[in-house]
Each structure stands twice: as C-alpha cells, then as structure tokens.
Amino acid sequence: MRVLLIEDEKKVASFIRRGLKEKGFAVDVVHDGEKGLFSAEINPYDLIILDIMLPGKDGIFICRQLRKKNIVTPILMLTARDDVEDKVSGLDSGADDYLTKPFEFAEFLARVRALTRRKGSPKITTLRVANLKLDQVTHKVTRAGKEIDLTATEYSLLEYLMLNANQVVTRTMISEHVWSEDFDSFSNVINVYVNYVRKKVDAGFSEPLIHSIRGTGYILKG
C-alpha cells in the first residue's frame, strides 16, 4: 500500500518512513504543506499521515481542502499538542484518526492498519485466491497449507495482486502502490520482483496463479 507522509520534522519523518517500509508500505515523504497538498491531490494513496503544524499550509487547511475536493483517502493526523480543541478541530476538518506525538510505534502501526482496512470490510483481513492465502495482520502467506517466505517488497507486491485478483494490473499501477513516488516504472525491477514472487507462489504447483499479460501487465487468478 502507498502512503503519503506530510511531516516537517525530518527526524520524525525518517523514523516513520523507515518503520512503515519495514512493514511493506511504499512511503512518499513531503516536508511542507504546499507540496503535501499538491502530492495528495495528484497521486493515488491508500493513507495520508498529516502533521498539523507545517510550514506553508497547516494540516487543518490541507485536510479541509482534500475533503472539499472529494478526496476520501483516510487521514491520520499527528500533532505535538494534546489539547482537546486541537483534536476536535482535526477530526472536524475531515481527519479519520488523531495521534499525539510522541507515540509508541506499535500503536501508530495499529492505527495505520485500521485505516488502510477502511475501504473494505474491517472484518476481512485474510485474502484468498484458489488455495493461496494471505493474512494482512500477521503477513503470513500460505499455498495449500505450505508457508511461503516473502521479503517486505515481495509481500507488498503479492498483496496488491491479490487485492486486485482477476483484474489486469499495469506496471504503472504496481509502481504507484508498491514503490514510492521516485521509483522508475520503466526499469526492469517490477519484472524481477514479479518473477521472484511467481517462483515462490507457483513453484511445485501444476496450476500457476500469476500470469503475464504481454504489453499490459499482470494478473493473479485461480
């Protein structure tokens, strides 16, 4: 899943980005309000993490502008202030959740997981295609009961393919949701990782699940 982090404190941003990347998220980082608003308006994200106190335009303004433009991407708002009025302002501007800094990363990650599940049924955390099973909470992947060991990037790629099962996904779609904004979608990295995942998922099975669509992209179906 692809996340936009709008945070002017570079140490905090680096900490959050590193932690999310370790969990398989693609993270774009912006350090001021103007650029953050621009990125949120032009790119598809699964979650926006938004600090309130920003140079340029603050988080409240950004949140209101996004909601006015009917951008419904879940927003987790961050602030160093613990005033009730600030929390109310943030939530009233359209934010979905609110977290006060400093915070424990485990709690932060739990809120991220909850918000990124919001688009679908919050009770569904296991994806299944044929005999392939992926648990979005534990990140455990099995096929016909056999556990498959994946790297963080491989997991993110497989999760995206399973979320779009039976649909063709293009290289651009994959790059936007599995890698960050500065990724070159014309490189052969996507092909390489699809082959890595295909070998792990389809090896030893007579019926392959991951298929290449020449000139278009890939499809996972069973």
Token pair belonging to 46: 């699964």
Which stretches in the chain have pLDDT values below 50?
Answer: 120-123
- Name, in order, each residue with C-beta under 8 angstroms of 64's C-beta and a sequence gap of 6 or more: 93, 94
What is the CATH classification number for the domain harbouring 105?
Answer: 3.40.50.2300
Residues 8 and 92 in one domain: yes
Q: Which of 129, 130, 148 is nearest to 138 (CA)?
A: 148
Residues 87 and 180 in one domain: no
- State how many domains the chain has: 2
Structure confidence at residue 121 (pLDDT)? 43
pTM of the predicted model, to two decimals? Answer: 0.62
Structure confidence at residue 123 (pLDDT)? 47
Per-residue burial over 120-151, b if 16 or more Cβ lie within 10 Å, else e, is eeeeeeebebeebbbebeeeebebeeeebebe
Structure confidence at residue 118 (pLDDT)? 62
Residues 178 and 216 in one domain: yes
In a domain, residue 121? The reply is: no
Residues 207 and 140 in one domain: yes
Residue span of the structural domain in which 181 resides: 126-220
The model's pLDDT over 156-181, given as tens digits with 9 standing for 90+, comes to 899 999 988 999 998 888 887 787 66
Structure confidence at residue 60 (pLDDT)? 92
Name the domain boundary from 64, 82, 116.
116
Task: For residue 138, give the DSSP letter.
Answer: T
Q: How many percent of the chain have pLDDT more than 70?
A: 91
